[in-house]
A and B are shown apart, each in its own frame.
Chain A
Amino acid sequence: MFLRSIQLRDWKAYATAQFDFPVPTKNKNVVLIGAKNGYGKTSLLEAIILGLYGRDGMHALARAVTSNSDDDRSYDEFMERALHAQALQQVRTSIAITIVLEDAIERLKIVRRWHFTASGKHRRLDEEVNLFSGKDEEPVKVPGLRPSREERDDYYRSEIARKFIPFHLTEFFLFDGERVQQLAKQQQAGMVKEGVEGVLGVQLLRVLQGDLVAYAQDRRRGVENIEDETLSRVNSQITEIEARLEPCKNKITELEDQMTPINRRIEELTRAVRTMTGGNSANVKELMEDQFRFRRQREKVEERLNEMLRTDLALALAGKSLRDSVVKTLGSEIKRSEWLASKNHTREKLDRILAGLEAKDPVIRPELTEHQLLVLRQRLTDVWETLWHPPPADCAIEERHVYLSEAERRRVIERLDKVERLGVAELEQLLADHDEATVQFNRLGHQIAGLSGIEERIREDMNELQRLNQQAGQVREQMGELNRQEQNDNSELSKLRAEAGRMAARHESAQPSLARAAKAEKIAALIAEAIEDLYPRYVTRLAEEMTAVYKQLAHKTLVKKIEIATDCTVKLLGDKGSNIRRMDSSAGEEQIFALSLIAAIAKVSGTKVPIVMDTPLARLDPDHRSNVLRYFAAHAGEQVIFLSQPD
Chain B
Amino acid sequence: MKLTTLLLFAVIMQVSAGTYAQKISLSVKDAKLLTIFDQISDQTGYSFVVTNSILQHAATVSIRVKDADLKAVLDQIFKNQPLEFSVDHKTVLVKKKEPSFVEDLIARFQAVDLRGSVVDENNLPLAGVNVVLKPQNKVVATTNGEGHFNISIPESGATLVFTFVGMETQEVVVKANSKFINVKMISKSILANDVVITGYNKTSKKMMAGSYAVLDSTVFANKPFPNVDDLLKGQVAGVVVSAQSGQPGTAQKIRIRGTNTLSGDAEPLWVIDGVPLQDNVPNIPSSSEIKAGSLDNVFLTGVAGINPNDIESITILKDASAAAIYGSRAAGGVIVVTTKRGKPGKMRLNYSSLFSSSTSPQRDAGLMNASEKIAYEQGLWDEFSAPNFELSKKDPGIKFPVIGITGLIRAGRGKYAGMTAAQQDAELAKYAQSNENGYDLLFRNSFSNTQHLSLSGGADKYTYYTSFGYTNNAGLLKNNDYNRYNFKTNLDINPVEAVKIKIGIDYYSVKSKAPALGSVDPFKYAYFVNPYESVYNSDGSYRADETYYSLNRANDPTSPIIRNLVPDVGFNIMREMNETSSISKKNQTLLSTGLDLKITKQITFESLFSYKYTNNSVNEIYGANTKAAFDNRLSLDVDTRKQYASINQTDNSSSEYMGRAQFSYKDYFGQNNAFTAYAGSEMRGSNTKGFYSKRFGYDPITGNTNTPLPAPTDNKLIDYDVLQSYLAAIDRASGDLFGEDKFISFYAATEYGIQDKYIFNLSVRADGSSYFGSDKQFNPTWSAGFGWHIAQEHFMESLKPTINRLTLRLATGYTGNISKAVTPQLVLGYSNDVRNINGNTYRIGDVLGAPNPLLRWEKTYDVKGSLDFGFFNDRITGLFEAYYRKSDDLVTKAQTLSTTGFIDQRYNTASLENKGLEFTLGGKPILTKDFKLNLSLNFAYNLNKVTRFNAPYASMSLSNTWKGYPLSPVFSGMYTGIDPETGLYQYQLRPDAVINTSTDLNKSDNYRYYLGTAIAPYTGGFNIGASYKAFTLNIGGAYSWGAKSFEYIVPPVSYDKAKRGTLNESPQIYQNDLYAQYLNVRRNAADRWTSTNTSGTYPRVWDAFGQKYDFGYYNPMDSEITRGAFLKDLSYLRIRSIILGYSLPAKMLKKVSLSTVGFSLSLNNFFTFTNYDGMDPETPGATYPISRSVSFGVNVGF
A binds B: no
